Structure 1
Amino acid sequence: MDQSSVLVERFEENRAQLRAVAFRMLGSLSEADDAVQESWLRLNRSDRTEVENLGGWLKTVVARVCLDMLRARKSRREDSLDSRTSEVKAGGADPEEEALLADSVGTALLVVLETLAPAERVAFVLHDMFDVPFEEIGMVIGRSPMAARQLASRARRRVKGAEEPPEADLTLQRNIVAAFMAASRAGDFEGLLAVLDPDVVVRADRLAVSFGAAPEVRGAAEVAGTFLGRAQAARPALVDGVAGLAWVVDGRPRVVFELTFVNGRIATIDLLADNEVHQAMDLVVE
């Protein structure tokens, strides 16, 4: 068997997974096939002697192709979700395979994925559905591994939030944040306990730890003690559409306090000081 035939055979061995990856990113069977075909064309144009892991290489290429397609789609603002999901029902050359592919994702999840930004969707699909490391995802989307992790985390929260009843409207979230800030600045321990979930968790990234934050603090009493008399320079902020806080220095966020809420209380506080993570956020300091 010549090298060309071997390459075709090896590509076909990976086709099913590549199509699954592309479908989850694009939500369209025809576009998924286009992305897989483009990966084949790029493979033929590449120096294959440098490709050690063909499956991983192809997955990365397909992901980059899908990212470009998602960005182009967003700029055009065309192709409604209904038109794409209707392809699943219509079937194709292999209706059984297409039905299995669609069932493995589900229309409800496709609806949620449509709300994500292109880089969020790629990061979420690659990591949560195909266990691709953040180091590799970062190379696909042109971000650091930390920023890729943040994008996947944000996407995951949005997916989970769409599956569950929404927690508190924005006005209530802002009121909780305002009460947290007031109690922190005043050294009001009981006031802090009132707005913290009993099992609240505070996590800090490595840069925030270098500023003096503890890597992790658990429990309302411990967290209240951590913030007692603090937050003097913190300002209210919207972090990906959710009420939060930001420590701003010279007009730039130094640390972002990303919050989640459960039953009208703060359940998690993520202290994020990595500037690349900030750039990946939809951040509005108020």
Structure 2
Amino acid sequence: MTTDTSDAADAAGVFEAHRSLLTGVAYRILGTASDAEDVVQEAWPRWSAADREEVENPRAYLVTIVSRLAIDRLRSARARRESYVGEWLPEPVSDLPDASERAELADTVEFALLVVLETLSPLERAVFVLREAFQLPYAEIAEIIGRGEAATRQLSRRARDHVRERRPRFEADRAARRRITERFLQACAEGDMEGLTGLLADDATLVGDGGGKAKAPLRVLVGRTKVGRFLLSLPSNLERFLASIGVAPGEPRLEVTEVNGAPAALVIVSGRVISTMILDVDGDRVRTVYVIANPDKMSHLRVPDPS
């Protein structure tokens, strides 16, 4: 009994030591924090039941389990998303799931990158994440996805080229992006159409995700005027939206904080995040505005202390 108890404790200790890494892998493959946490939980009984004496590298073994589970879940999720109301965007997070691993991993959860990863196939996405974010050898990735090494290298090259072609190229540094986000938020709060459109590129786009539960355009808006008008129309629908999700009416509080490792704007009412705006900034202009208002995607956003 003592041996069994000790073995179970050792298994749990190893698993917990790798939890943040595993959650980070799953989140990048899936784009949703809640699904990532579920996948990690699914991995535990497999690890607990494994013949761990035969496992030479627990880290690699656990990453393999989680990656395969995440790929399977992503395949089924893609089918469900075909009936999603409007545009589907990744689930934003305040706390990076593997911040303790390496600081440079923060760049691999940039929201704009996660949006681009949505356009890859599940296998391409998994290969990209495992190679580009976690620097796994091709032979190890091939074993995880059940493909030959040559085929895995081809998947990696195709995914990398696709991401390079579509990923926004930020010219503004983080401090500049924060300043622009603050000015953008101030213009929204003041209903300043001229100030707002002055920050937007001529061909600016807005992608909204309300999931059929909050006001959001069903299709991408294009053009600074359309984007500005939509953003300034949001307060008029706030009271009805709050009632629909069971939040007490209150004065909205607007905060700029870190989301997915970069500046973002939160709309907070009665201590609850009800919407998030993430900006793609090119130089001194906003190229894309992502508005996530689906209440199901707000649970992993931390409410900043009032300053």
Superposition TM-score, scaled by structure 2 size: 0.47
Partner of 2:60: 56
Partner of 1:211: none
Post-superposition shift, 1:59? Answer: 0.5
Post-superposition shift, 1:80? Answer: 7.6
Aligned-partner residue type, residue 71 of structure 1: R
Query: How big is each residue's C-alpha offset from its partner over 1:237-275, in whole Å with a ceiling of 9 and x where there is no partner?
Result: xxxxxxxxxxxxxxxxxxxxxxxxxxxxxxxxxxxxxxx
Q: Distance in 1 between matches of 2:97 and 2:141?
A: 26
Decide whether the 8 Å contact of 2:23 with 2:98 is kept in 1. no
Structure 1 residues 117 and 104, CA, compared in 2 at 3 Å: closer, same or farther? closer
Q: Are residues 1:16 and 2:8 paired? A: no
Partner of 1:27: 31
Report percent identity of matched pairs: 43
**Greater mean deviation of Cα atoms: 152-161 or 95-104:** 95-104
Partner of 2:263: none
Partner of 2:163: 159
1:132 to 133, 136, 147: 136
Partner of 2:51: 47
Post-superposition shift, 1:4? Answer: 1.0
Post-superposition shift, 1:82? Answer: 6.0
* Contiguous gaps of at least 5 residues in structure 1: 90-94, 166-286
Q: Distance in 2 between matches of 1:163 and 1:22?
A: 21
Post-superposition shift, 1:96? Answer: 3.7
* Contiguous gaps of at least 5 residues in structure 2: 100-104, 170-307
Partner of 1:114: 118
Q: Distance in 2 between matches of 1:14 and 1:135?
A: 21
Post-superposition shift, 1:45? Answer: 2.2
Post-superposition shift, 1:136? Answer: 1.5
Post-superposition shift, 1:84? Answer: 5.5
Q: Which has the higher helix share?
A: 1
Aligned-partner residue type, residue 139 of structure 2: E
SS in 2 for 1:34: helix
Decide whether the 8 Å contact of 1:112 with 1:159 is kept in 2. yes
Query: How big is each residue's C-alpha offset from its partner over 1:143-174, in whole Å with a ceiling of 9 and x where there is no partner?
Result: 11010010011000110000369xxxxxxxxx
Structure 1 residues 98 and 124, CA, compared in 2 at 3 Å: closer, same or farther? closer
Partner of 1:144: 148
Q: Distance in 2 between matches of 1:70 and 1:16?
A: 20
SS in 1 for 2:92: helix
The count of corresponding residues between Structure 1 and Structure 2 is 159
SS in 2 for 1:2: helix
SS in 2 for 1:23: helix
Q: Distance in 1 between matches of 2:106 and 2:73?
A: 20
